[in-house]
Amino acid sequence: MSKFTVVIGNKRYHVEVHEEEENVFLVRIGGREYIIHFPQELLQEGEGAGSEVMSRLTRAIEESTMRLQLHPLPVTEEVGIKIASEIPGRLVKLMVKEGDIISSGQTIAVVESMKMIIEIKSPYKGKIKKVFPREGSFIDVGQTIAILEPT
């Protein structure tokens, strides 16, 4: 875990960064959590490396953005079926964990957006291979919640 204090204008932000897996980070800013995927080219060292990331992160903080998604996590059919959020909001509850066997129509997660509660359901039966966000984190439209291996 890395901790930073970011100063933008006259505002100070406490930022924690945890590397969840290669190129995927959990970032906490002011008590809110964001899952961010950084493409490899933005993580390479050298002059100007990462400037796009810092620019976007700075802009998100300045605009008090509740969602921060730089790039969707890449998923191919060989890996499994991507189950994604249909709306932006806060992930209230994860109903599955890695390795769970689920049925078609089973609730994967519960998302709250503008005081509405939305259930994200699996379109197929199968096995949960991977779960990405953490409960309480903010997610964006199309953000991967889980990867399903159909059975």
- CATH for the stretch 81-150: 2.40.50.100
- Cβ proximity of 84 and 143 under 8 Å: yes
What pLDDT does 63 receive? Answer: 47
Q: How far is 84 from 141, CA to CA, in rounded Å?
A: 8
DSSP 8-state assignment for residue 31? T
**Using CA atoms, how far apart are residues 43 and 3, in angstroms rounded to an integer?**
18
The reported pLDDT for the residue numbered 17 is: 79
- Give the bridge partners for 149, in sequence order: 127
C-beta of residue 104 within 8 angstroms of C-beta of residue 150? no
Only one residue has tokens 């096995």, namely 127
Measured in whole angstroms, the distance separating CA 92 from the mean position of its chain's CA atoms is 13
Residue-by-residue pLDDT tens, the chain, 151 positions: 777 777 766 777 778 877 777 777 777 877 777 777 665 555 554 444 444 445 555 554 444 433 444 333 344 444 678 888 888 999 999 999 999 999 999 999 999 988 889 999 998 899 999 898 889 999 988 888 998 888 8
The candidate with the shortest Cα–Cα distance to 41, out of 20, 60, 59, 23, is 23
Residue ranges of E strands in the chain: 2-8, 11-21, 24-29, 32-37, 81-84, 89-94, 101-102, 107-113, 116-121, 126-131, 138-139, 144-150
In what side-by-side order are the strands of the sheet with 81-84? 81-84, 144-150, 126-131, 101-102
DSSP conformational letter for 62? H
Domain ranges across the chain? 2-62, 81-150
